[in-house]
Structure 1
Amino acid sequence: MREAAARSNLTPSSPIKLRPVSRVESQILFGVSLFRSSIFTAESLLLPLAELIATRRLPYLPFDLKLLTNIRRSLRQLLKEDAERIAQGYYPASVFLRSEPTSNPLEHFQRLPRIFQDAMSASRRRSKKHSKDFSPAAKRRTEGLPAYYQRNFHYQTDGYLGEESAALYDHQVEILFAGSADPMRRMLLAPLKRHFARSEGKGLRILELGCGSGSGTNFLRLAFPLARITAVDLSEPYLEVAARRVPSVNFLPAAAEALPFKDQEFDAVVSIFLFHELPLEVRKAVLAETHRVLKP
């Protein structure tokens, strides 16, 4: 990994006083979340079109009204609970300013043509079952990585080993989850805040496994501005994006199943969207390493 990404400014962030917001403000935040979700839902309509153009076949689009109704109800409940946790002071309302598309609306919409192009490429790979299709630069990055990591996860271009993949990932995931990815990431914050008595993180050491491009890390920093946060991942391009996003966090290249830390070094170990990418035996190894580096 480049030196700029390997070394971050490790000074904890200035503390943000977590002021519980009013119920009216909470309802406004809920409305913002619903609007945000509608944007990503509309953008998701590009995906079947991309598949049709790329493969010249109509994509399979199952229609189950009951299932769609349940999904929409669950999504609304998730967004409502996210707004309520802000109202209760578990994390600041500024999390909305760190999420797509509010973080940079212009960049958000300029990114859509690239996402459409990548969706077509992924559709072609999926139709041909090509899961080890790498550019020369990404292929070089596979050297020394575990075998399970040397593939195109979800058939995306260069898997997790390309700079373009790292640039598009957060936006693509929000399209996939209709704007619920960031609220799902924030679900871990309230239990952590309760466990540490709503601490701002002074004296705490927190480790994130499989941090990717740093979206979840960003929320950890906002909720625990005084904690010493370390985050690891196997992807050099994603770590570089993460280091630019949250410069006060120590980002390191490492496998979650072989952590380069001493026993009982961290007060909390967290992961988001990691385990579904791992083979069963690797999951067991990750859990063993988690217990090893976690304080009693």
Structure 2
Amino acid sequence: MDERSAKSGEPREAVPKGRGAFALDGASQRARAAIKAAWWTAAGGVTRALAQPTRGEAKVRFEPQGPPVSAARLRRAYLAAFDKDAADVAAGLYPPAQDGLGDPAEAFRQALDVIADARAVDQRRRRGDGVEVREEPGTEAYPNYYRQNFHYQSGGWFTDASARRYEAQVEALFSGAAGAMRRRALSLLARHWRGQDQRGLKVVDLACGSGAFLADLATAFPRAAIAGLDLSRAYLAAARSRSGRGGVQANAERLPFADASLDAVTCVYLFHELPPRVRPVVAAEIARVLKPGGVLAFADSVQPIDEPDLSRLLEAFPAYFHEPYYSTYAQADLPALFGAAGLSVAGQDQAFLTKALLLEKPW
């Protein structure tokens, strides 16, 4: 994306071409991603075969409105995520990702854990029980909208076991493409800061979860001061361990940072899990803590307006994965939402089922 299109927010037309110095890194990224994709595609297939979420009786019935999804169109969108990721590595925007399979024994353990938990997830889905965690002691102090089993996952956001399992769950769900999709936000931020001295830059990864994107940030910007923030104690502990960076437990509605104190905030897959009344509050808090000229690197689900051909898939997501606020997110005008907080779109990108925006605070 050239300088003009980055500032206008026009869609990215082409992936960058690799420089000679990083061509081998790009090839390595592509090869490791292929192995990872094959592994998590197989693991996801096993979990779906065991649970068979589209069959049998369930409290929530899915009645699609959109047209059937073309398998060829879906495959093209899926593969494009890996193509963009590898091309960005080859262009030197960021180093090869460290989210490959790594230790085969650990990858096997993670897959078995996800598969073993699949039946419990499916039982909650069939009961329509997305608030089981509200019965757990110690959750009362959290916002009511947060006290849910998002994705019908065991433990919600509250347990160490959930935090350990989460990354494997999303990779199995998205057939190994989760990391490549998230890094569309990293790509936008790396382009924006290309050639800039990282020393002195302060970045917070908002709702850092179990730390996969926080680890990407730490690898891409090793000299910057980077920390995670999450409302979950368990997930924050996992993020610290995964990334080697510090973190703070706090609510995104009341960020514990001074006005105009951060050069960048990153936010990945948070806004579709916020009620409509909370989204403007969080957007305003992000704008408050950014310095003039600071940026928000945002990534979340694509919306039907972005991918009409995949609209049926987007309709299915909240039905099968307990996403109570997703339907309002799907219709939200994100540039207007952040514009009301004083942030303007400076760049955008998307891959497979994720869209990314770079939003800038005016000087």
Same fold (TM over 0.5): yes
Q: Please list, as runs of the form range in 1=range in 2, the aligned pairs for 1:9-158 lying within 5 A after superposition.
A: 21-23=21-23, 26-52=26-52, 57=56, 67-93=70-96, 95=97, 98-102=98-102, 104-134=103-133, 139-158=136-155
Whole-angstrom CA distance in 1 between matches of 2:153 and 2:261? 35
Asked if the contact 1:207/1:268 (under 8 Å) is kept, the reply is: yes
Helix, strand or coil: the match of 1:141? coil
Partner of 2:220: 223
Q: What displacement does 1:25 show? A: 5.0
Q: What displacement does 1:26 show? A: 2.6
Partner of 1:9: none
Helix, strand or coil: the match of 1:270? strand
Deviant stretches of 4+, over 6 Å: 58-62
Helix, strand or coil: the match of 1:111? helix
Whole-angstrom CA distance in 2 between matches of 1:111 and 1:270? 27
Answer 1 or 2: which has greater helix percent: 1
Q: What displacement does 1:240 show? A: 0.8
Q: Match for 2:250 among 248, 254, 265? A: 254
Are residue 180 (structure 1) and residue 183 (structure 2) matched? no
Q: Which runs of 5+ in 2 are unaligned?
A: 1-18, 293-363
Whichever residue aligns with residue 231 of structure 1, its letter is: G
Q: TM-score, normalised by structure 1?
A: 0.83
Partner of 1:6: none
Whichever residue aligns with residue 214 of structure 1, its letter is: G
Q: How many residues align?
A: 269
Asked if the contact 2:25/2:89 (under 8 Å) is kept, the reply is: no
Q: Match for 1:294 among 290, 295, 305? A: 290
Whole-angstrom CA distance in 1 between matches of 2:266 and 2:188? 11
The verdict on how the C-alpha distance between 1:272 and 1:41 changes in structure 2, with shifts beyond 3 A counting, is same
Of the structure 1 ranges 166-175 and 19-28, higher mean CA displacement relative to structure 2 is found in 19-28
The verdict on how the C-alpha distance between 1:245 and 1:27 changes in structure 2, with shifts beyond 3 A counting, is closer
Q: TM-score, normalised by structure 2?
A: 0.69
Are residue 190 (structure 1) and residue 187 (structure 2) matched? yes
Helix, strand or coil: the match of 1:262? coil
Q: Which has the bigger relative contact order, CA under 8 A and spacing at least 6?
A: 1
Question: What is the root-mean-square deviation in Å for CA atoms of aligned residues?
Answer: 2.6
Asked if the contact 2:134/2:140 (under 8 Å) is kept, the reply is: no
Helix, strand or coil: the match of 2:278? helix
Are residue 214 (structure 1) and residue 217 (structure 2) matched? no
Q: What displacement does 1:24 show? A: 5.5
Over the matched positions of the two proteins, sequence identity in percent amounts to 35
Helix, strand or coil: the match of 2:203? strand
Q: What displacement does 1:217 show? A: 0.2
Whichever residue aligns with residue 155 of structure 2, its letter is: D
Deviations 1:34-69 (A, max 9, x none): 2321211111111222214x998399999x985221
Q: Which runs of 5+ in 1 are unaligned?
A: 1-18
Asked if the contact 1:100/1:171 (under 8 Å) is kept, the reply is: no
Asked if the contact 1:148/1:278 (under 8 Å) is kept, the reply is: yes
